Structure 1
């Protein structure tokens, strides 16, 4: 391609007009290490009404939505394209109060950010709502942004599913075969998208959103996976970073290593849950000691493994436990659900709201694996079996629901390197963490802080839940983050806030 033609293609990279992917398959190419330069004069992002899936904020504020056409591969911007859906709620303050845009991401990978501009904004401190246009977006492959599908995903959506914790050589072989089948399904159904739904490519999309809105900087609030996405944006565009808050931090390292770390943290959290439940034996009736509660828990799981009830078996049980352990306000419901199964043979109290096999859930689960496997090196099957055995030596019945990156062992596209995170050239970033979060253990925040010089870590001590800022209702955390976002006040040192402790049973 000639230089003028290439420049024209680059300048068209952020065009707002929708474009469909071509029918011809795209060959997966190694990702280049050199950064892509953003176009200097992108088309503006034009907003109209939002789909019904996006909630409406309280009057007089309103949400508006638009779409941007992005290159499928930012390293070859003249090729096929994907669409990215964007939402915005404007700042409610005066022009003098305005600080720019606050791009937000709810996590995942696979979480839809289009409604998040409304739902998260409603929880933000008023000073932040007055200062920022809150901008949400569905990352590529998610929701309304060229959603990816992996079909049956190796039987992931079978109901009831098989036991997800392999015990013995035969069960381990079956487990690995299911991972291979999942990877094969993603290759068949997602096909050409596989290499290009990476976090790094999404970071370029974020830069395109900034440019299309005509803003000099991107301020950002990313929760859970959103912290990883923010760190990737910082690595590529450090001089475009405004004020960045990374909450419940994933941390650097491979996705598979993160999944293993999380599985061990879940064991600690579950032991805490057993002790909490035992201290309320009169309320729940599951036993007066942690060991007795554990026995009740295992009995429920054995019953459901032997006789699933209305499609609810051990896989569904483990998913429910995984969800409940991440937020302490769900512990009462989990304990009541265990009692309901033991006393009445009814697991309905354990079922999370919403169908696991809904279109939204199918998209989430597909995007989760596709993004993780596009982000860096994969484990080997031998690594997977060895780590499961090590975890089962810690506890014979672990919760492995979050081990999504295990499927990367059989992925059809292998990235050559890990997603770069952080930059010494970025301004100070604020990291936020719960001291005992089992979903994103605090070790990740401490490790990422070392890649972000001048950054500070705000820790909510004596807290056991995932998601902290504008989520836990802690004034110390919320005021510290608001002062940083609105006035640029970076704490002189890491901050420790006093957490709520374990919940009171309802």
Structure 2
């Protein structure tokens, strides 16, 4: 998921039950990709780019089309090349065109291993509605984008206040210049686009590496097209329902499970003055949140403070920065952190399109008020914000039922998951593992943070097992638990 809390179907009667028909990718053959320079904003000179034409509505395959922007980091060892590895960095609504270059960049502690790069052309793409692939808009105003942090409501009246904002955003999305795309910006359609990319690449099968929301996209793809899936790796898993209201509320659970790692770090470093025990650091969190709610500092109120803390729990490398920010807020010194001031309408708009288009969210305001009150007690660090109302409550009904993840297909799925992931807690991986049945194996790593493979993930046991699967096809014979490793 994107590192923010500001996230988040009449059935397709014409879709049958056979995999090819259900996926609708056999309706036409895609043209071969022509590679050339990437758009300037991709910023990775080693990548090549092209476009694939796909139907806007797969129920009408000969109707209106859109173009999907695709990138490629070619294997430098054709003799070792197995095929293509499609990638997705998460979101929903996250651009992926530059992602192959990002994960291969040696500046990260754990870049994509060279052996994997040798075995595959690594493929990125902007999903439909995002970036260079038929971008959508909700006509966000600057003031609306400035308040994308979901408030932490203290009472039912504040949920009502947020509902007014959410309803306005939903109406803007439904009446914008790209409103005709709105029903079709879904995970299932993006998965169908992936199969068109496969066809345009001339490949009989694709391998896949997806993180966070990208795990749901990969799960949907290999469900719709099981016989076109080669080696599927899903890292930091949302669960079989994707980003629905249940998954969004679980952000609060994720923060509760991850926060003790930071609390121990802060307690072990008394120079920050946040407490000498994990319990004292937790107490300091609530003191700062309450103080900032009454009197914001440099644009940081209680809700901003909670989300900033949540975001910097994504990897251990951010702990010193987070502790310094807390210390500055606690002592009245200037704060280096500033709430994000972005004017990226498409980032927010595409996020909402997928979040709300994939599944039906509760419609009743009282449902959110009750859940906010319950989550505030159950998960006090973040619960009320994660349960708050958003535009999905006022979104048009989805046009397609969610894809049901099951065990029909080859045993070629590998899930990898940190035990203490704030963005996608372990429970989602366990549910997805159960849904896949014999198709999947699960690797858990006794570490915290979001992302268990490459970039900042440093558990050698987990990293080596995933690399072995991608390069040799060998999965652990059973689910694998990787012990904690000292950094």
| TM-score (normalizing by structure 1) | 0.85
Q: Once the 2 structures are TM-superposed, how far is the Cα of residue 299 of structure 1 from its aligned partner? A: 3.6
Structure 1 residues 443, 405: CA separation in 2 closer, same or farther (over 3 Å shift)? farther
Structure-2 residue corresponding to 1:434:
418
Matched residue, 2:475? 490
Whether the aligned pair in 2 keeps the contact of 1:153 and 1:181 (CA below 8 Å) is no
Change (3 A) 1:334 1:153: same
Q: Among residues 87, 105, 119, which one is paired with 1:104 in the alignment?
A: 87
Gaps of 5+ in 2: 1-8, 17-21, 106-110
Residues 248 and 117 (structure 1 numbering): CA distance in 2 closer, same or farther, change over 3 Å? same
Aligned equivalents of 1:217, 1:121: Cα separation in 2: 22
1:170-193 C-alpha deviation (Å, 9 max, x unpaired) = 222112222222212221224222
- CA–CA separation in structure 1 for the residues paired with 2:55 and 2:127: 13
Say whether 1:88 aligns with 2:72.
Answer: yes
Q: 1:400 to 1:339 in 2, by over 3 A?
A: same
Find out whether 1:288 has 2:276 as its counterpart. yes
Match of 1:175 in 2: 162
Deviation of 1:46 after TM superposition, in Å, equals: 0.7
Runs of at least 5 residues in structure 1 that lack an aligned partner in the other structure: 1-27
Following TM superposition, by how much is the alpha carbon of 1:489 offset from its aligned partner in structure 2, in angstroms? 0.8
Q: How does 1:410-425 map to 2 (within 5 A)?
A: 410-415=394-399, 417-425=401-409
Instruction: Give the whole-Å Cα distance in 1 for the aligned partners of 2:389 and 2:429.
Output: 20
Residue 77 of structure 1 is matched in structure 2 by: 61
Matches within 5 A, 1:77-226: 77-95=61-79, 97-122=80-105, 123-152=111-140, 156-158=144-146, 164-189=151-176, 190-226=178-214
Instruction: Call closer, same or farther: CA 1:378–1:493 in 2, change over 3 Å.
Output: same
Inter-CA distance 423–298: structure 2 relative to 1 (3 Å threshold): same
Larger RCO: Structure 1 or Structure 2 (Cα < 8 Å, ≥ 6 residues apart)? Answer: 2
| Alpha-carbon separation, structure 2, partners of 1:103 and 1:42 | 17
SS of 1:484's equivalent?
helix
Alignment RMSD (CA, Å): 2.5
Which residue matches 2:251? 262
Taking the aligned partners of 1:374 and 1:404, their CA distance within structure 2 comes to 18
Cα deviation per residue 1:440-497 (whole Å; 9 max; x = unaligned)?
A: 1111111112232242111111x01110111313322222112111111121111122
Quickly say closer, same or farther: Cα 1:388–1:358, change in 2 above 3 A. Answer: same
Q: For structure 1, which segment, 261-270 or 293-302, has the greater mean C-alpha deviation from structure 2 after superposition?
A: 293-302
Ranges of 4+ aligned residues in structure 1 off by more than 6 Å: none
CA distance in 2, matches of 1:38, 1:294: 55
Give the direction of change, closer, same or farther, for the CA distance of 1:228–1:396 in structure 2 (3 Å limit).
Answer: closer
**How many equivalent residue pairs?**
462
3-state SS of 2:76 partner: coil
Per the alignment, residue 372 of structure 1 pairs with 355
Compute the displacement of 1:47 (Å): 0.9
Partner of 2:265: 276
Matched, 1:499 2:484: yes
Distance 1:138 1:455 in 2: 27
Give yes or no for contact 1:368–1:404 (8 Å, CA) kept in 2.
no
Which moved further from structure 2: 134-143 or 117-126?
A: 117-126
Deviation at 1:437, TM superposition (A): 0.8
Aligned mates of 1:431, 1:286 — CA distance in 2: 37
Deviations 1:87-139 (A, max 9, x none): 001112232x1110000000010111100011113311111111100000000
Secondary structure of the residue aligned to 1:53 is helix
Query: In structure 1, the residue corresponding to 2:41 is in which secondary structure?
Result: coil
- Number of the residue aligned with 1:25: none
